[in-house]
Copies of this chain bind each other. A is one copy, B any other.
């Protein structure tokens, strides 16, 4: 059974595809164009009732929310490809903790920047400078905690690359490229070393090469 992943050009589906590549799971993609509203058709809403990306179909099993999908495949194929959930229940606890930190601390200000700088920019809307500054300040505080953590730990959840690190790749990529804020990574020594490590993984380079971001 080949896993079908919707919306590979966008950031959240890339979280899923990178996980599938790390786990050596066969997949195919279905392109969805958000700028043409292809995520709001009745057919799409049947699969994903909130009208967002990604969603996967695996035989008759349908699943959405990128961080749920990556947990599902990392657990289902535990012994295949890269181990991404830790070796013990305590290690998995820390993977879960840093996955949640990514979702609730790292992601929101960065997602806001992507929407209000890149996507609004593409639509010709003038970005709100005050909001951009606030987002950057929030993100800086988060990265300060990461710097501390990564000064004593190779990866966020411990000695090994895990879903917690992987989950940062798609939006971290926007930060260092289209958003022009690579300095936020580079002015923090340990974050910089970590970013180089995770963003040079063959899985991520392959996904970026195959599905270039739309902005």
Within 8 A of B (CB), among A46-69: 49-50, 61, 63-65, 67-69
Indicate if A209 sits at the interface (CB-CB under 8 A): no
Task: Report B-chain residues with C-beta under 8 Å of the C-beta of A97.
Answer: 63-65, 68-69
> A50 contacts which of B61, B63, B69, B145 (Cβ < 8 Å)?
B145
Whether B96 and A71, one on each chain, are in contact in the complex, defined by CB atoms closer than 8 angstroms, is yes
Indicate if A215 sits at the interface (CB-CB under 8 A): no
* Stretch in contact with the other chain, from A1-9, A100-108, A123-131: A100-108
Interface string of A91-114 (1 = CB under 8 A from B): 011101101110111000000000
Indicate if A75 sits at the interface (CB-CB under 8 A): yes
CA distance A110 to B12 in the complex (A): 23
Indicate if A76 sits at the interface (CB-CB under 8 A): yes
CB distance from A44 to the nearest CB of B (A): 14
